[in-house]
Chains A and B, each alone.
Chain A
Amino acid sequence: MALFQTKTKMELAELVKACQRQDSRAQAVFYDRYKSRLLGVCLRYAKTVAEAEDIFQEGILRIFAKINDIQNPQAIDNWVKTIMVRHAIDYYNQVTRKEMLSASHDDVKLDWENNDYTLLFSKLDISLLLEAINELPDGYRIVINMHFIDGYKHGEIAEMLGIKEVTSRSQLLKGRNLLIKKLEQKGIKQHEIF
């Protein structure tokens, strides 16, 4: 009897097809499968936890609204993440696009000689990394997430954000430097606390 089917027995392709049929039980299984990962994505792209939750809730509904568009159910993992990333970008585009384009943040000069920046990332807790990313301006934060973590090329970033590729590279460079500075400060604070 379908009533007593367990969630683990449902194949991914069947799950997607059931969601396309708007089977509420399948939608719940689908949501439970991806919710933790997608909220993690939203926490990286958002400035605050509240904004992340807003992006997450709206993004989930958008995923279910667009699930009929998917052609290859086996690629559902990347598709779901892409939808959520695009929604996070749209969320900030409504408010911050102009700001991002006209961002005039001070360039941060790095002292290359005295610091091993790569070691910072391994020494610091992920919560501090996330905190540092959240503190970045919107434009820097989005580009760093898209390029460094999600692996988008500058051409793809430029297309998704509606900017030029050179702007994407410039934003990435400035954002990287600012992130490193923030991590240095947090690294020192962490050292002092412990």
Chain B
Amino acid sequence: MKSFDDELNDAIQKALHDSFENFERKPGASIDQKIYEALDKPARVRPLLLSAAAVLLLLLGFGVKEMSERYASLRAITRSRATNEELKESANVVPLHGNIVVSAEQPSHTRHSASANPAKPNVRRPLRTVTPAKPASTLHEHAKPVPYKVKAGAGPVLPDENNTLPVMETEHALPVQIQDNAVAYRAIDANEIATGCLVPLLVDLAMPEISFDANPEDSTLQEPESRPVREKLDFPRYQPSDKKSFAWIFNLSATNTFQSIYLLPNAESRILKVSFPVSTANLGYKLSAGFQTLGLQWLFHYSHLSWKAEYIYAIDEFKADEQGANRYVFERLGKAETVTSKVELAGVGVKKQFDFKGKRSGRFFAQIGADYSRQLQSSGRHFLTGSISAGKVFTVNKTTDFIIGPYFEYNFNKVPTAEYSIKVRPNQVGLSLGLRMNRTK
């Protein structure tokens, strides 16, 4: 038989066991934070990510270098004049008046043989007037062919006072120069030289006559159309993307985190003030890589974000300011504590890029996108963000574009902080750099 003590012990044991068997108390966010930080390993930049970042930086550097060299060579070409020797080798053309004579859009009866790369018609400025050229037979009737020879290495040949060409000597037989006052030529476009679109002038030309009739019958001279204001201002026009095109996309965004704060009601909260100081601790970056197809960009990304917050916690001390007779205003004093938060995210995203092009202003882009990310650290939070970006597009080469412009990212999630009564929405603003390498099939 049990004693009274034993019965009492059993009763108390049962009562306390039933009361505390499932007794739980959730720790505060600050304790969770400390535990998570103690459990997290030091951030290791994974070799694959490091390699990808290095490759991206190399591509960016290569692209910038290539672009600058391209620009420098283009300027050199536009400034320089092709030498006689180069043109003779490539086109076998006799320079007249120091200018290069090239024919394009010749009348059908004009015979000329092209080089390996025949030029495409690319007349920037039409002739002032054009009258149909006379048939060769007609010309030969009226013209007086003047045979000539050219010395190798001879300089520009200038007509004498009689407007006839002097006799020159060369080992090559040049086409018969038709003595005619009508000379048609046009200035060489630098792009033609750069792209190798020269047409060698080899045989006799039937030069169309140039007249300055006010109302020629078949005049191609047209009054310049009154261009709309939009065109005059060179407003960039939307260039729809080819949905069948395929391109590799690489992007690096340097970002600064700015936050919006949400205070949850909590009777036990002792926070007097929250502020977000301007600091390099708010800087981060985002690496993206993927491809563009079906008019959209499909990307994988990695983000390293950080932000800093300062909390003023109330302490049990007050300051009393006297205001008037026997009137005091009490102010509770606080203690400041700074918290730096770091987040590593990885995820996927989709973007839509809109390309614009102006005649003189160049190419521009605008982007809108959405990303889904997951935190790589212990808590494994999910993030959903929307982003916009816009800026300038530079052509690196015929398959590669470089883009640069401001970047803004809005976070749809609120992130809990060390204080469980406070949540923040970390948004990003920064600069976006990217490469688009077209691989259209």
**1/0 per residue B8-32: CB within 8 Å of A?**
1101110111011101111100011
- Complex contacts, A64 vs chain B, CB 8 Å: 39
**A28 x B39 contact (CB < 8 A):** yes
**A40 x B374 contact (CB < 8 A):** no
Partner of A37, one of B24, B36, B379: B24
| Cα(A176)–Cα(B31), bound, Å | 33
Instruction: Answer yes or no: B35 CB below 8 A from chain A CBs.
Output: yes
Given A31-B35, A149-B20, also A118-B11 (CB < 8 A): yes
Stretch at the interface among A72-80, A121-129, A186-194: A121-129
**A57 x B5 contact (CB < 8 A):** no
Instruction: Answer yes or no: B196 CB below 8 A from chain A CBs.
Output: no
| Cα(A144)–Cα(B15), bound, Å | 12
Given A40-B25, A44-B20, A64-B39, also A56-B380 (CB < 8 A): no
Instruction: Answer yes or no: A147 CB below 8 A from chain B CBs.
Output: yes
Given A3-B374, A24-B378, A121-B12, also A39-B27 (CB < 8 A): yes
- Complex contacts, B23 vs chain A, CB 8 Å: 40, 43-44, 126, 130
**1/0 per residue A108-152: CB within 8 Å of B?**
000010000110011000100110000000000000100111010
Residues of chain B in range 383-413 having any CB-CB distance to chain A below 8 Å = none
Residues of chain B in range 115-163 having any CB-CB distance to chain A below 8 Å = none
**A40 x B20 contact (CB < 8 A):** yes
**B12 x A176 contact (CB < 8 A):** yes
**B24 x A39 contact (CB < 8 A):** yes
Instruction: Answer yes or no: A71 CB below 8 A from chain B CBs.
Output: no
**1/0 per residue A42-82: CB within 8 Å of B?**
01100000000100110011001000000000000000000
**B35 x A129 contact (CB < 8 A):** no
**A148 x B13 contact (CB < 8 A):** yes
Most chain B CB within a 10 A radius of its CB, from A43, A129, A130, A148: A148
**A126 x B20 contact (CB < 8 A):** yes
- Complex contacts, B380 vs chain A, CB 8 Å: 7, 25, 28
**B378 x A27 contact (CB < 8 A):** yes
Instruction: Answer yes or no: B287 CB below 8 A from chain A CBs.
Output: no
- Complex contacts, A118 vs chain B, CB 8 Å: 8, 11-12, 15
The interface on chain A, measured as residues whose beta carbon lies within 8 A of the other chain's beta carbons, has a size of: 39
Most chain A CB within a 10 A radius of its CB, from B20, B34, B40: B20
Instruction: Answer yes or no: A94 CB below 8 A from chain B CBs.
Output: no
Instruction: Answer yes or no: A36 CB below 8 A from chain B CBs.
Output: yes
- Smallest Cβ-Cβ distance to B8: which chain A residue: A117
| Cα(A61)–Cα(B41), bound, Å | 14
**B4 x A112 contact (CB < 8 A):** yes
Given A24-B39, A24-B378, A57-B35, also A129-B19 (CB < 8 A): yes
**B31 x A56 contact (CB < 8 A):** yes
Residues of chain B in range 38-61 having any CB-CB distance to chain A below 8 Å = 38-41
Given A28-B380, A173-B5, also A122-B15 (CB < 8 A): yes
Given A36-B24, A39-B24, A40-B23, also A24-B377 (CB < 8 A): yes
| Cα(A121)–Cα(B17), bound, Å | 11
Given A24-B378, A25-B380, A126-B20, also A35-B12 (CB < 8 A): no
**A36 x B4 contact (CB < 8 A):** no
| Cα(A63)–Cα(B421), bound, Å | 29
- Complex contacts, A129 vs chain B, CB 8 Å: 16, 19-20
- Complex contacts, A151 vs chain B, CB 8 Å: 17
| Cα(A51)–Cα(B165), bound, Å | 110
- Smallest Cβ-Cβ distance to A6: which chain B residue: B380
Partner of B9, one of A4, A53, A176: A176
User: How near does chain A come to B182, taking the closest CB pair, in angstroms?
Assistant: 75
**B24 x A56 contact (CB < 8 A):** no
- Complex contacts, B35 vs chain A, CB 8 Å: 31, 35, 57, 60-61
**A53 x B27 contact (CB < 8 A):** yes
| Cα(A53)–Cα(B40), bound, Å | 20
User: How near does chain A come to B245, taking the closest CB pair, in angstroms?
Assistant: 29
| Cα(A60)–Cα(B26), bound, Å | 14
- Complex contacts, B19 vs chain A, CB 8 Å: 121, 126, 129
**B39 x A27 contact (CB < 8 A):** yes
- Complex contacts, A28 vs chain B, CB 8 Å: 36, 39, 378-380
Known: A27-B39, A57-B35, A148-B17. 6 other contacts (CB 8 A): A31-B39, A36-B26, A53-B27, A118-B11, A118-B15, A148-B12
Please report B residues at the A interface, Cβ cutoff 8 Å. 4-5, 8-9, 11-13, 15-17, 19-21, 23-27, 31-32, 34-36, 38-41, 346, 374, 376-380
Q: 11 interchain pairs (CB within 8 A)? A: A4-B374, A27-B39, A28-B39, A28-B380, A31-B35, A40-B23, A40-B25, A121-B15, A121-B19, A129-B19, A149-B21
Q: Which 7 pairs across A and B sit closest by C-beta, in order of nearness?
A: A28-B378, A121-B15, A36-B24, A118-B11, A40-B23, A148-B16, A148-B13
